[in-house]
Amino acid sequence: MKGSHLFLCLFSMSCWLNLMPAAGNKIFHFGPCRISMSMTEIRSGFTAIKANIVNPIRTLSILSYPHSLHKVKSSDRCCITHHLFDFYVDKVFKHCKTEDSYVNRKISSIANSFLSVKRKLGQCHEENKCLCGQESTEKFKQILANYEGLNVTSAAIKSLGELDILLDWMEKSH
């Protein structure tokens, strides 16, 4: 009998620890999806390289095109976030190479964090918890059009330089 109480106690503790976010992680709610991520780690990596990112184009913004991320409905947050993490992993980080190995390591670290979140958002999407409305689809199409209007390298560096826009939006909607 004592063994079963000990097992139940250990099992309960294990479940409780699995529900808690890792140290430094925050739980973000994107519609019905709950995603744990270390915003501190991503921000510190971005802060370390921001000064080294030379913004090739100052007249166009990829993420802050009027109303791109502003006023996204709660039900569309998961979808647009899923699309944006796919976008950053599949398009942006692949084309952000610099001459500085330190900057490249930081970019790689941020990319790995994004890849982890992308997988979690992908699971929500597969479980049909992350539905895409017309508004989120249109907003993402505009972001892609802004990106694809530039050459690949300039667009990637520009998008990396605007990462703080995405991070700020995520924290505000948190």
CATH number at residue 99: 1.20.1250.10
Query: What residue type is assigned to position 164 of the chain?
Result: D
* Domain-embedded: residue 124: yes
* Domain-embedded: residue 36: yes
DSSP letters, 29-80, are EETTEEEEE-HHHHHHHHHHHHTT---S-SS--SS-STTSSTT--HHHHHHH
The 10s digit of each residue's pLDDT in 49-70 is: 988 877 666 677 888 765 677 7
* Domain-embedded: residue 2: no
**Tally of domains in the chain:** 1
Domain interval for residue 33: 24-173
What three-state secondary structure class fits 26? strand
* Domain-embedded: residue 18: no
What pLDDT, on the 0 to 100 scale, is given for residue 132? Answer: 85
Q: Which residues pair with 30 in a beta bridge?
A: 33
More confident residue, 130 or 144: 144
Q: What angle do CA 75, 87, 76 make, to 5 degrees?
A: 5
Show the tokens assigned to 99. Answer: 């001459």
Other CB atoms within 10 Å distance of the CB of residue 101:
8
Q: Which of 67, 163, 153 is nearest to 107 (CA)?
A: 163
The pLDDT confidence band at residue 18, using thresholds 50, 70 and 90, is very low
The 10s digit of each residue's pLDDT in 66-120 is: 567 777 887 888 889 999 999 999 999 999 888 889 999 999 999 999 999 999 9
What pLDDT, on the 0 to 100 scale, is given for residue 120? Answer: 92
* Domain-embedded: residue 167: yes
